Structure 1
Amino acid sequence: MGIRLNHILAGALAAALVLPAVSAADVTLPRTLAWSAYGTNSSGYAQAVAIGNMLQNKYGTSLRVLPGDNDVSRMTPLRTNRVDMCACGIASYFGSEGVMMFADPEWGPQPVRVITTSIASFGLALAVAGDLDVKTPADLRGKRIAYVRGDDALNKGTEAYLAFGGLTWNDVERVDFPGYGRSFDGIIAGQADASFTTTVTPPAQQLASSPRGIAWPELDHNDTEGWKRLTDTAPYFQPHRITSGAGGISADNPYYGASYPYPILIANADLSEDTVYGLIRAMNDNFDDYKDSAPGAAGYSLENQNLKWVMPFHEGVVRYFREKGIWTEDMQAHQDELIKRQELLASTWATYMASNPPRDADAFRDGWMKARADALTAAGMNPVFE
């Protein structure tokens, strides 16, 4: 089975980091790499096992994984340098922007860099009761749409799908639910009509098996105006041909919708360029060794990488793509703009923290979000979150 992944102990990790690096086929990696990830029953953790086996077998590098129950617990070890990387979700983007759970005195905008991402066969979409005549997001006008209290990421996804159809929350009936699962219970019970989810999640399967059935409003990939509205609202989404999901979605019956990567492997900007270069090269040179070893692992393929996404790539990754002849001047210009955005957010955060901001959590967040939006707008950048 290759290596056994263990929880990281601070003392053991500190000792491991002083071991010399090992090389194979011009790839230089430390003896031990550490990253945080989703829980042990997640596909992200299983992918880490598969990649870790490859690294051990090919390079003698041990991968140690610290599983985390939520976004903050996964990113905290990265912030405190207990791990080298985080196999995170879209919260990594929220962290880089300093919004939602990161609009907090302990956090603020994070200097993260992308190493690689995985795009799998599923998508992220609004699941709609199948007994309604909803074929596109524009058909959701006047419908009862779930709003999940305390889950900003889900609600932002809903907002993005509505925006594709030229709608806002004001054009639908918002129905609040205390949790994600309860929103699907509400659809089945006739209390709501749609909720945001992944196409493969069990609640979506349950809705598909219910008397109401399930429908997925299609996002026309040629509708440039619709996509602009969607990405202005949530720029981390991208068009995706979805081939797995509830309601009969398959390779023979694809659904044209949207997705964003999961996991997103990130590091801090100051992680060694040689380490990152070695890892991304190892993952691409030995892709066949792990692509079929865990659900979703095939999503790390080179052709699945979006090189003009919403967070900057690590310099070690840029170096690798330059060597491959893939990295273009246009990509570099996009990279430079993303780094400029991060630097502006960091300086705005420093100024805000030095201004004796309110101690009340809500007042602190409101003040920061205004300062952030003002700074980005003045620089000609889309605040996205306001």
Structure 2
Amino acid sequence: MRIFTTGLTLACIAGTAVFAADSTLPRQLAITSYGTGSSGYNQSVAIGAALQDNRGVNLRILPAKNDVARTEPLRQGKVDFSMNGVGGTFMAQEGVYQFGAKSWGPMPIRALASNNSGTVGISLGVAAEVCEQVGKPNCEGFTYADLKGKRVAWLKGAPSMNVNAQAYLAYAGLTTDDVELVEFGGFGPSWKGMVDGSVDAAIASTSSGKGYEAASGPRGLFWPEIDPNNAEGLARMQEVAPFFTPMVAQVGATIDGTDGVPTAGYAFPVLMTLADREPELVYGVTKAMFELYDSYKGTSPGIDGWSLDNQALEWVVPYHEGAIRYFREVGVWTDAHDAHNAKMIERQQVLNTAWKALEAENPDNWDETWAERRREALDAADFPVFY
């Protein structure tokens, strides 16, 4: 019988002495993931099914509303892995936004694998009725610039989602001052707002189940296009979110069965952990992700991007040594990947050193001082400064 469990009570998780058929994996694993109904959650469930059916591993999935909620159990040691996004990976590494708070700080993030489907966009969806409101029926000629004065979803504790929305606004030459920000407690509620009329635009992967719900609702759904030839617009977008690249979404609500929609995207979701997690466990999970790929591909929209061929082995955060061991075994890890990974670890060390120095000072104006010290430390070490 196939078993999945979700919830917030953790017991007998990865440290158990009982192991599955694959001796590198325990019988129970726990991960945090995006909220129920999201693309990240649905992919976690599909991967969990493959683990249960082929390795006898019960994957406990803890849905969480935002980046902090997904990353906190990992930091506390209650889980060993998270199915996260750029917030819980890149921004946690960088110690920015909520992760720059005195209670957080830059994290020693490590990646195992990521979904780089090239078919699923991370886009700012717009309620189709908004097109009518701005005098563009059927959304013909509607661009992100037409969101000026409209209501855009803003998520508590989810800097990555909010930065994504800012990036799309920046592409259009807008800022958050040009729109009305409507605050929501999480991803799910923001898309409920897309259906009930409390917000006009919200960020999501194009394959998200919430997008399909909105598309079939009374207001409809539209994904405005990103022009890959708009160099100035893309430069503005990448200044806000350097991980975005233009692509054509071919999977998603209102997109399926069409030629696709030119938009932007990045690796999503990312299976991640922390540097101190056991290399043998990380190796086993990484190995299972790729050995079981044929068992879960095609089972959820966008999930095919987890294939070994799609892995971006030079990314914005370093890979865990356990994952690298697997990549070496299958012959895809190179000296160039080693050099890049070492550079990313060095970046984390620079940030950690700056953070510890600030902790010793303990200034009253923590946020402002950290932002300044962070920029100074990165610049002095010849690393690019984002945020």
Is the pair's TM-score, using the shorter chain for normalization, greater than 0.5? yes
Structure 2 counterpart of 1:59:
55
Answering whether residue 106 of structure 2 is matched by residue 109 of structure 1, we say yes
Q: Name the CA shift for 1:302/1:364 in 2 (closer, same or farther; >3 Å).
A: same
Instruction: Give the partner amino acid of 1:82.
Output: K
Structure 2 counterpart of 1:48:
44
Instruction: Give the partner amino acid of 1:130.
Output: C
* 1:257 to partner: Cα distance: 1.0
Structure 1 counterpart of 2:5:
5
Answering whether residue 241 of structure 2 is matched by residue 234 of structure 1, we say yes
Equivalent-residue separation in structure 1 for 2:52 and 2:201 (angstroms): 45
* 1:255 to partner: Cα distance: 0.6
The alignment's TM-score, normalised by the length of structure 1, stands at: 0.80
Equivalent-residue separation in structure 2 for 1:207 and 1:53 (angstroms): 28
Equivalent-residue separation in structure 1 for 2:45 and 2:164 (angstroms): 30
Q: Name the CA shift for 1:335/1:28 in 2 (closer, same or farther; >3 Å).
A: same
* 1:346 to partner: Cα distance: 1.1
Structure 2 counterpart of 1:78:
74
Answering whether residue 179 of structure 2 is matched by residue 174 of structure 1, we say yes
Equivalent-residue separation in structure 1 for 2:223 and 2:66 (angstroms): 28
Does the 8 A contact of 2:85 with 2:270 survive in 1?
yes
Counterpart mapping for 1:26-175 below 5 A:
28-93=24-89, 94-119=91-116, 121-127=119-125, 129-131=130-132, 140=145, 143-144=148-149, 146-149=151-154, 151=156, 152-164=159-171, 167-169=173-175, 173-175=178-180
Equivalent-residue separation in structure 2 for 1:307 and 1:153 (angstroms): 21
- Number of residue pairs matched? 369
Equivalent-residue separation in structure 2 for 1:113 and 1:232 (angstroms): 24
* 1:348 alignment partner, one of 346, 354, 357: 354
Which of 107-116 and 309-318 deviates more? 309-318
Question: C-alpha offsets along residues 34-75 of structure 1, whole Å, 9 cap, x if unaligned?
Answer: 222234554434433332333233333333333334332321
Equivalent-residue separation in structure 2 for 1:142 and 1:53 (angstroms): 41
Does the 8 A contact of 2:153 with 2:201 survive in 1?
no
Query: Alignment partner of 2:5: what SS?
Result: coil
Does the 8 A contact of 2:112 with 2:323 survive in 1?
yes
Which of 78-87 and 218-227 deviates more? 218-227
* 1:182 to partner: Cα distance: 9.1
* 1:364 alignment partner, one of 363, 366, 376: 366
Which of 365-374 and 74-83 deviates more? 365-374
Q: Name the CA shift for 1:79/1:193 in 2 (closer, same or farther; >3 Å).
A: closer
Unaligned runs of 5+ in 2: 185-189
Instruction: Give the partner amino acid of 2:107.
Output: Q
* 1:19 to partner: Cα distance: 0.9
Question: C-alpha offsets along residues 157-208 of structure 1, whole Å, 9 cap, x if unaligned?
Answer: 233234445x3529x833333444598589x79xx98654444565787589
Instruction: Give the partner amino acid of 2:383.
Output: M
Query: Alignment partner of 1:12: what SS?
Result: coil
Query: Alignment partner of 2:179: what SS?
Result: strand
Q: Name the CA shift for 1:33/1:127 in 2 (closer, same or farther; >3 Å).
A: closer
Q: Name the CA shift for 1:320/1:168 in 2 (closer, same or farther; >3 Å).
A: same
Equivalent-residue separation in structure 2 for 1:278 and 1:345 (angstroms): 30
* 1:229 to partner: Cα distance: 4.0
Equivalent-residue separation in structure 1 for 2:336 and 2:45 (angstroms): 35
Q: Name the CA shift for 1:154/1:379 in 2 (closer, same or farther; >3 Å).
A: same
Q: Name the CA shift for 1:223/1:309 in 2 (closer, same or farther; >3 Å).
A: farther
Q: Name the CA shift for 1:207/1:370 in 2 (closer, same or farther; >3 Å).
A: farther
Query: Alignment partner of 1:278: what SS?
Result: helix
Structure 1 counterpart of 2:187:
none
Instruction: Give the partner amino acid of 1:88.
Output: N
User: Percent identity over the alignment?
Assistant: 34
Instruction: Give the partner amino acid of 1:65.
Output: I
Does the 8 A contact of 2:286 with 2:326 survive in 1?
yes
* 1:79 to partner: Cα distance: 0.4
Query: Alignment partner of 1:374: what SS?
Result: helix
Equivalent-residue separation in structure 2 for 1:110 and 1:294 (angstroms): 31
